[in-house]
Chain A
Amino acid sequence: MNELRPLATIGLLLRRFTLRHWRSAPRATALQIFILALGIAVFFSIRLANRATVSSFQNFAGLLTQQSDWQISAPAGELPVSVLGELRSALGDDAVEIIPVVETTASKPHTQREEMIGSRQSFHLLGLDLVAIQNLASASEADHGWFDQQSAGTNYAGGNQFWNLLRKKNAVFISQTMAEKANLKIGDAFPVVIDENVANLEVAGLIPTSPARPNPPEDLLMMDLPALQRLAHREGKLDRIEFIVADGADADARRGKLHDQLVALGKNRWTVFSPADRRASAATMTRAFRMNLTILSLVGLLVGLYLIFQSLDGAVVRRREEIGVLRSLGVTEKIIRRAWLLEAMLLGFFGGALGVLLGWGGAQFAVRFIGKTVNTLYYATTVNSARLDAGEFFIAIGLALAASLVAGWWPARQAAKIPPAQILSRHAENQERKSLLQSAPFALWLLATSGLLVLLPPLRFSGALRFPLGGYAAALGLIFGGGILCSQVLRQLAQMLRFAGNYSVAAKIATSHLRKTSSRHRLAAAGLLCAVTMAAGMIILVTSFETTMRGWIINTFQADLYISSDGAQSAATQNRISPTTWHAIVANPNLADANVMQSTAIEIGGISTMLVGVDLEFTRRHPNLSWQNPPRDEKIYHFAQNENLALASESFSERFRVRRGDKIKIPTPGGEKVLTIAGIFSDYGNERGSLVVERRHFAAWFSDELATSVIVMTRTNVSPENVQADLSAQFPGLSILTNRYLRSEILRIFRQTFSVTYALELIGIIVAVIGLGMTLSSILLDRRAELTTLRALGWQRREMAWATAIEGALLSTCGVAVAMIVSLGLGWILIYVINKQSFGWTLQFAIPWPQLAALGMLVIGAGTVVAYFVGRWGSGLAADREE
C-alpha cells in the first residue's frame, strides 16, 4: 500500500467524512455553530461596547486643532491663567504652541421638577481661544472658518461682526449634526443650564471641520475661552494647558526637552501627561468595571464549550465504526486526531464568523447600557454606537478557534485511539475510560483548592487597579468541581428514583438511562450547572448589593432636600453652585439646617480620586455616615481641631491602602497637606474613593467656595415639598430633589448598571437549555435501535417524548439542584473576594430564595419542554439514520 500523505488524507477525510456528516445533519451542525456563535457574539459585543465607551473619552481640543504633544493640569483644582505668561517666558522662543483649555458640561433645562437623573441631553462645552487656534490651521483646508459664517455672504469688510463675535458673551459654535437635529441656524438661541443658571446660547456658526480630523461629536459646544470662563464662573482659571511642538527633524528631541522643562517648572503645581496618558487614565477609571463585564461575557462561551465538547464527543462515539475502518485502511492516529481537530476548528471558524456578525449587532445595544453606566459613574460620554474593530475581530475569531480546539482536543484524542480491530466487533461495548472529569476526589480537590485561592490577595497594577485573580480562579474551580460532582449526583438521583419505574414505563426507561450516564449526560448537566451557578451567583451578588445599598441609602440620605446644579447630569460634571446662591439657600427661613458640599478631583501619586469638603459638625448633628471604622474621638467634628484630619471612604482605603490612623499627603493649590485618616466610612456611590475634610478648610486651600451640592433639613412644621417649590421658583437652574425621589433614583441607577449583567446571564442560560436539547437529541441518535424496538413494541410517539422529557427534567433538576448549592459558594466569592478586591465595597450577604427558586423552576421547566420536543423528534428516527 502506498504511504498516505497526511495533508491529502486530511483533506480527503474532511470532504468525505466531516462534510458528509455535516450535510446529513445540517440542523445539528447549524446548532453547534450557533451555540459557539452566541458565546462569541456576547463576548465580542461587550468588547466592542467597552471599546466604544473608552474611545468616547476624547480630547475634544484635539478635534479642533491637532493632537497635542503634552498637557498639564493641576493635581488638585484648576490652573490659574497666570501660569500662561510664566510658561511663555520660561519656554522663551522655543517653537511651542501653548493652548489653554477650559471645559465644562451643561444640559438642557428640565421640563418637570423631578425626572430621571441623566435623562436630559448633556453638552460638552469646550473653551478655546478662537483667535489663537487659527495659528494651528491644519494643512488641509477646512470647509469653513470661525469668523466667516456670520456674514452669510454679505459684505464682511466692516469687520464689526468679527469684533462682535469676539465680544459676545453667549456665542457658541455647534456641530453640524446638532444643527440639523435641533434645526438651529446662525443667530438662533437655545437654553442650557450651566451651574445654577439657565443661559441662552446663541449659535454663531458650525464647528469647522476638516477631512483630516474626525467630525465633532453632536454634543460638543465650542465657545471662545473667556466667554466660557465668564459663563461658568471660572474667570482666571483653566482646566489644562496643551502644548504642540513644531514639526521637524529633531521634533522628538524637542518634545523630550519640553517634557523635562514642564516637569521642572511645574514642581507640585501641575502634572505633565500626553493625550495618550489621559485616555489611559480614563480607561483605568473604568477598567475594573469593564474587566468584570468581559469576564461575565465569557459565561455563554464557557457553557458553549461544554456543549461543543459533548457534541464532538458524541460524534466520536457515533462514528467509531467508520474511524475503525479508516484505521484498518492505514490512516494513522495522528491523521485521525488532526482531522478531528480540523473539524473542531471549522466549527470554531464558522461559529466565530457568525458570532462576530451577531456580536456587532449586539454591541449597538450593549453600548447604550454600558455608556449609561460609564456616564453615571465615571465620565461624560454620549456614545451610542460601537464601531467594528480589527483587533477585536481577530481576538474574537481567535477565541472561537481556541475554544473549539479546547473542546475538540479530548474527542480528537478519543477518536485517534479507536483501534482498527474495532471493525471486527461491530457491537463491542462503548468503553468509556474514566477520566479526571468523572473523578469525585478530583472534584473535591478542586473545591478545596478554590477554598485556598480565595485567600490570595488581589494582583495590583498601576492606577490602583486590582485584579482578584485568586477569586476568579476559585470561582472557576468551584464551577468545574461542581460540574464533576453533578455527574455523580445524577447517577445517585437516578438510582433513588428507580422506584418511579413501578408507576410509569416512561419513567423507568428515563431513569435506567440516567443510571448509566454517558459522558454527554454528564457534560450537559455540567453545562447547565455552569450557567445556572453563574446566574444564581450573580443574583446573590446583586441582591446582596441592593440590600446593602438600601441600608446605606436610608442611613446616608436622611436630609429633606438635595440641591445641586441642574446642569449636573453625569459623574464628570463640573457644574457648581455659586457662593451667592448657596448662601441665599442656606439663609432660607424655612430651613432648620444645611450642609454645603464642595468637591474636586485630585491626584494622589498619579491616581485620581475625590476630595470632598463638608460641614463635619453637621454629620454629627445628623449622623449619616455608615462606619467601617468610626473615629476614635470627637476631634474630626471640631473646626478648630480638624484641619489635619480626614475621613476616608472604604474604596479610598482599599485603593490607597490606608487604614484609620494612617497619614496621607494630598495636593492643594497652596501646596501639599498631610492628613490623618480619622475614620473609614462606607460609600457605594463612588468606586474611585473619596476623602472627606472640613469644607471651610477645603475652601481655604482651594480659594474656592463653589458648592457641588447642598443638603438641607426643613423646619419640622414646614413641608419639604413646599420648600422645594419655593427654591425651584427662586433658582430655576437648580435641581432640588426630595429625599424620597433621590433614594429611588439611586436605586434605579444601581439597577441600570446591572442590566447588562442580567442580559449576559440570560444568554448563558439560553445556551445551556439549547445545549440540553442538543445533548438529548444526540443521545437519541445513539439510541435509534432502541427507539425502533420501542416502536415495534407499540410505543406511541407521545410516550417516547415523555420518556425523554423525564430524562431531561431529571438532568435539569440535578444540574439546578447542585448549581444552587454551588452558587452559594460562588455568591460568597463574588461578594467577599471579587467585589471587595475589585471595588473595595463590603456587602452584606443576602440570599434571595424566591428569585433562586424561580430561576431553578424556569430552567427545569425549559429543560423539560425542550426534552419533550426532542423526544418527539427522536421517536421518528429511522434505525439507519447516521446522525
Chain B
Amino acid sequence: MTRSKMWALAGAAGALALVLSACTGSATPGDTAGGAGQKIKIGIKFDQPGLGLQEGNTFTGFDVEVAKFVAGEMGYAANQIEFVESQSAQRETMIQAEQVKLIFATYSITDSRKEKVSFGGPYFIAGQDLLVRADDTSITGPATLEGKRLCSVTGSTPAQKIKADYPGVELVEYGTYSMCVSALESNGVDAVTTDNVILAGFAAQPQYAGKLRVIGEPFTEERYGVGLKKGDIETCTKVNDAITKMVETGAWKKALADTVGKSGFEPDDRNPPTPDACS
C-alpha cells in the first residue's frame, strides 16, 4: 500500500464516520407541526406487552389504542402517526426537545414531572399490584409476601416501596420485566410487582395463558397521563376532549378488553377516569 493510499483510506474512514453521524443526526430534530396532512410523532413504550409493544412491524397495546384514537380526533389519519420509542428516563426530555408531540407510555402524572411538562388525561388509573403463578394461593397481597421472593426491575420505585414497608420480603432485581416474569414462570421468584395493568399485559400473552394471575388488590394510585409540551393548553384540551369521547362511545372499554383484558383483567372502579382540567 502506498503512502497516498494509506491517507486516502484514513480519509475515507473519517468521511464515512461523518456521513454516518450525519444520517443519525438528521433523525433527531422533532417535526412538531400539527394539523392535517402532516405527521404526528407519538412516544410509546416498545417493550411493554398489552400497553405498548413492538410486535413485528406493528405496535399493539392499550396505550397505542388510546394514542390512535386521540390522534384521530385531532385530525390525523392512521398512516400519519409515527410511533417513537420513549424510554422512561427520557420522557420529559423528548417532549422538551419537541422530538415527540404526545407521549402515551405508562406515564404517571406527578408534581415533579409537571414542572417540566404538562399532562392531558389521565386516561387510566393504575395501581401497584402483584403478579403470581395461577396455582399459588398463598399470596393474597403485600402483607403475605413475608419470606417470599419478589421480583422487580433494578432500582425501580415499586420495588423500593415494598422493601420499605415489608422488610421481610426478599427482593430480586433484574433488568427487565420479561426476565422477572420468566423467572416467575419457572419458580425462581414467587411474585412480580409493578403497576397492575403492566402485569396484566404479561399475563395476557399467549405463552403465559392460564399460568399467571394478577392479585387484583392495587395498593397505590398511578394516574397515567398524556405527556405534552408545558403550557400547551390547546393540545391538552383536544386530548382531554378525545379521551372523554373515547370513554363515552365505549371505545375505551373495548380497547382495554382487546389488549390487557385478554388476561381476564378487569379495571377497578376508579376507571374510567375523568380528565383533569388543563392548566
Partners in one complex: no
Residues of B whose CB lies within 8 Å of any CB of A are none
Residues of A whose CB lies within 8 Å of any CB of B are none
